[in-house]
Amino acid sequence: MSHDAVDVIRTKRDGGQLSPDQIDWVIDAYTRGDVAEEQMSALAMAILLRGMTRAEVARWTGAMIASGERMDFSALTRPTVDKHSTGGVGDKITLPLAPLVAVFDVAVPQLSGRGLGHTGGTLDKLESIPGWRAALSNTEMLAQLDDVGAVICQAGSGLAPADRKLYALRDVTGTVESIPLIASSIMSKKIAEGTGALVLDVKVGSGAFMKDLQDARELARTMVDLGTDAGVRTSALLTDMSTPLGLTAGNALEVRESVEVLAGGGPPDVVELTLALAREMLDAAGRPDADPAAALADGRAMDSWRAMIIAQGGDPDAPLPTARHTEYLLAPADGVVMEMDAYAVGVAAWRLGAGRARKEDPVQAAAGVELHAKPGALVRAGEPLMTLHTDTPERFTRAMAVLDDAVQLAPEGSRPARAGIVLDRIGS
């Protein structure tokens, strides 16, 4: 049946519930170009202001999935589990996590994206490895899952095309922050991807999309419900993103740190979160007794990483690009680091060339920020707090400007209040 876009907008504008028919029609008509961009922007704004019920969000997500193809992993002999992070600063967890989980005869189809704004993209990071390629056909992807067990690649354009169109629109109309629209955007792609189980890493704090624990919990609950209703075993961890993860934000810098983790070292917070998510994923895939910490220690995770990189044309032994120019941010006084604002560090890395302002912008593989101290560390005046890396030194001034108030120091003997990195878990 046919509907009228203005009626659909009015229903939601006035606080009504959209019918299943209205939702199916508006998503299909918008994807085909029969609903104009300005009409969809008005509807997105009405949804942002009025919200959606669980039934509406589920139907909206289903309609976005129906706009494209669905992948099918049923031919694989091992269970599939995927992880999605809502994005943060220094969040390189996918890199060590996918090969680590694959060690235990689990297939990890990690369809990832590129960075936009202050949060880095997994594909941009991996593309700093010489020869590595992000674009795989479905056949290549299945073959690699069968052989290596882990793949990190870009999603084909056939998955949830309605989401791609709507996401670009939300970006320019101030409607990104709507929880139903965020949840349906993420979950339509993940459900269409065909994974059997899904673990969500929902970030909370200054460097995250959700600054507030309550909002993050609502988003996590909405996504867990959507996955569960679609027959995907789904759970979520709420994790702290007030401080950058690890000691690096940038592309090649984060790959280097990920390889340290796979070699049994690396920063404690990155290891802690990698293991927490690995345990959650292995449990969801029916491997509750697996010991991911042992696989980091004994080299199996590194073997799995090397096989994954080689399968996608990369050379795991090639030197990673290094920046032509570096500059230090120095401690202004003696003291204990109390806070290090993740958002400011993310923006600085972006301004140095590690990220992009528009989808088509190139990124610098070697640009970014390296941290020499994290909250709790004692520093002396004049010691480096951070090293800034870029190939284009004219970028230093703007990057330094955003870091002016990023680090809060307190007198020696002070202690920052630190919760663990995992703040909460939400299951079905």
**Candidates 78, 83, 84, 233; catalytic one:** 84
pLDDT of 416-428, one tens digit each?
887 789 999 999 7
Structure token digits, residue 99:
């090969």
258 is catalytic: no
Q: Are 332 and 231 in contact (CB under 8 A)?
A: no
- Can you give the pLDDT at residue 35? 94
283 is catalytic: no
Cα–Cα distance for residue pair 184/27, rounded to 1 Å? 12
- Can you give the pLDDT at residue 124? 92
- Can you give the pLDDT at residue 1? 61
Given this structure, which CATH class describes domain 325-410?
alpha beta
Burial class (CB in 10 A: 0-12, 13-18, 19+), 288: exposed
**Candidates 82, 91, 163, 240; catalytic one:** 163
**CATH number, span 5-51:** 1.20.970.10
Distance, first Cα to last Cα, the chain: 35
- Can you give the pLDDT at residue 113? 80
- Can you give the pLDDT at residue 346? 93
185 is catalytic: yes
Strand partners, 240: 204
**Candidates 59, 92, 164, 189; catalytic one:** 189
- Give the angle 100-106-107 at the CA atoms, nearest 5°: 95
Q: Does the domain made of 81-156+171-317 have the CATH classification 3.40.1030.10?
A: yes
- Can you give the pLDDT at residue 172? 82
- Can you give the pLDDT at residue 62? 95
**Candidates 114, 125, 165, 170; catalytic one:** 170
Mean pLDDT of the chain: 94
Which residue ranges make up each domain of the chain?
5-51, 81-156+171-317, 325-410
Cα–Cα distance for residue pair 171/178, rounded to 1 Å? 11
Report the chain (428 residues): mean pLDDT per 10 consecutive residues: 89 97 96 94 96 96 93 93 93 97 97 75 94 93 95 86 88 87 93 94 90 94 95 96 95 97 97 98 96 98 98 97 98 95 94 83 93 96 97 97 95 87 93
Phi-psi domain of 402 (left: phi exceeds 0; alpha: psi -120 through 50; beta: other): alpha
- Can you give the pLDDT at residue 116? 64
Residues sharing a CB contact under 8 Å with residue 248, sequence separation 6 or more, in sequence order: 90, 92, 254, 256, 257, 368, 369, 370, 371
Of 210, 329, 250, the closest CA to residue 258 belongs to 250
What sections of 118-212 are H helices per DSSP? Answer: 122-126, 138-147, 161-173, 179-192
- Can you give the pLDDT at residue 171? 79
Cα–Cα distance for residue pair 266/216, rounded to 1 Å? 28
pTM of the model: 0.94
Q: Are 226 and 187 in contact (CB under 8 A)?
A: yes
